Amino acid sequence: MIRFTALALLSMLGFSAAHAQTTYPTKPIRWVIPYAPGGGTDVIARPLALRLGEVLGYPIVYENRPGGGGLIAGELVSNAAPDGYTLLVGAGNTHIFATLLYDKVPYDPVKDYDPIINFVRVPNLLVARSGFAPKTVKDIVAYGKANPGKINWASSGNGAGGHLALVLFAQNVGIKVVHVPYKGAGPATIGVLGGESDLLFANTGVFISHIKAGRLRAIAVADKQRLAILPDLPTFPEVGFPDVISGSFYGLLAPAGTPRPIIDKLHAELAKIIHSPESVKRLAEVGAFPVAAKPEEFAAFLKKEVATWGKIVRENGIKAN
């Protein structure tokens, strides 16, 4: 009798998984975004969501939940039912920086989520105001060593990705700079454009129009691969600094306990969309590289990033604004 019950239970579980695979979805799916409308997340994720909705036969409903450095959106999804109908478009803030910088985080970025797919990586660019004398990374290093504390380095705020990228760079090359935190990427960019600050790390989309117009000068890309949109711009590894790698990622995550067939179905469809010629071209235009990492690869990536940036945060006593 016990053996029969166990077999029956296993059979039911197998049926449930298969049923989830064949019937999902049966209604619209909600993607929760940790930022206000119009940002880089929209540029990356909205076209993917639109195409996925067409493939699945149900629309993807976009819900922007900004605030708390991404913690508001992160908490909402971590507490949602693990049924595949409430998902998080996660990024560095929700799963790396905010969880390291705030004393109270309402979720565990690893244990409370099942990763589905890492959409893309978006490398940081190092840019300078047009009148800044040093022209290359090595020029900046030489100038910084000869003039400690004379370089004003902007960021979008204490503990922001650009701030941590600055700390990583300064530690690797051995210079001391003055950190100038602004309230957002827009004000930081204006600060460099106006000459208040000399340098800034941020994603390509923030700068590209200013670079094309000659108002800002691109110095290097913090990645191992050059950008198609700026093919002549060297990478930090190419100019002798292989460890200066930083940027953003955007990916999709589900509440922990979501049935694996649902995870696999979403991953398979999104991977095809991301690697389509149309998506690859569009992503290149905004300085992004398609990744489409498998769930296990995405999980390993998150753990590694938390460890890497956690060390930098602790060693430098960095706190959020």
70-105: b or e for each residue (b if 16 or more CB lie within 10 Å)?
bbebbbbbbebebbbbbbbbbbbbbbbbbbbbbeeb
Query: What angle do the packed helices 204-212 and 40-56 form, to 10 degrees?
Result: 120
60 and 84 assigned to the same domain? yes
12 domain-assigned: yes
**What pLDDT band is residue 271 in, cutting at 50, 70 and 90?**
very high
What confidence score (pLDDT) does residue 2 get?
47
**Rounded mean pLDDT, 140-165:** 93
32 domain-assigned: yes
CATH code of 274's domain: 3.40.190.150
Range of the domain at 234: 123-239
CATH code of 129's domain: 3.40.190.10
Query: Is the pLDDT reported for residue 1 higher than 70?
Result: no
Q: What digits encode the pLDDT tens for the residues 63-77?
A: 999 888 788 999 999
**Rounded mean pLDDT, 167-182:** 94
50 domain-assigned: yes
79 and 149 assigned to the same domain? no
- Whether 92 and 185 have beta carbons less than 8 Å apart is answered as no
25 and 110 assigned to the same domain? yes
194 and 274 assigned to the same domain? no
54 domain-assigned: yes
**What pLDDT band is residue 319 in, cutting at 50, 70 and 90?**
confident
Locate 225 and state its tokens. 């691969």
Residue 15: strand, helix, or coil: helix
68 domain-assigned: yes
Share of the chain above pLDDT 70, in %: 93
192 domain-assigned: yes
**Which backbone phi and psi does 84 adopt, to 5 degrees?**
85, 5
Query: Is the pLDDT reported for residue 15 higher than 50?
Result: no
Helices (H) and strands (E) in the chain, counts: 12, 10
Residue 96 carries which side chain, given as an amino acid letter?
I
What DSSP line would sit under 201-219, residue for residue? EEEHHHHHHHHHTTSEEEE
113 and 146 assigned to the same domain? no
Q: What digits encode the pLDDT tens for the residues 209-248?
A: 899 999 999 999 999 999 999 999 999 999 999 999 999 9
220 and 162 assigned to the same domain? yes
135 and 225 assigned to the same domain? yes
What confidence score (pLDDT) does residue 20 get?
53
232 domain-assigned: yes
16 and 109 assigned to the same domain? yes
* pTM (predicted TM-score): 0.85
Per the document, the length of the chain is 321
52 and 95 assigned to the same domain? yes
The domain boundary, picked from 239, 266, 289, lies at 239
Task: Give how many domains the chain has, as a whole number.
Answer: 2
115 and 257 assigned to the same domain? yes
The domain boundary, picked from 187, 219, 239, lies at 239
Q: What digits encode the pLDDT tens for the residues 17-61?
A: 445 556 999 999 999 998 878 777 888 899 999 999 999 999 999
Tell me what the pLDDT averaged over the chain comes to: 90
118 and 251 assigned to the same domain? yes
112 and 257 assigned to the same domain? yes
Locate 182 and state its tokens. 């602004």
The domain boundary, picked from 239, 261, 288, lies at 239
Q: Where are the beta strands (DSSP E) in 156-286?
A: 178-181, 199-203, 216-221, 247-255
321 domain-assigned: no
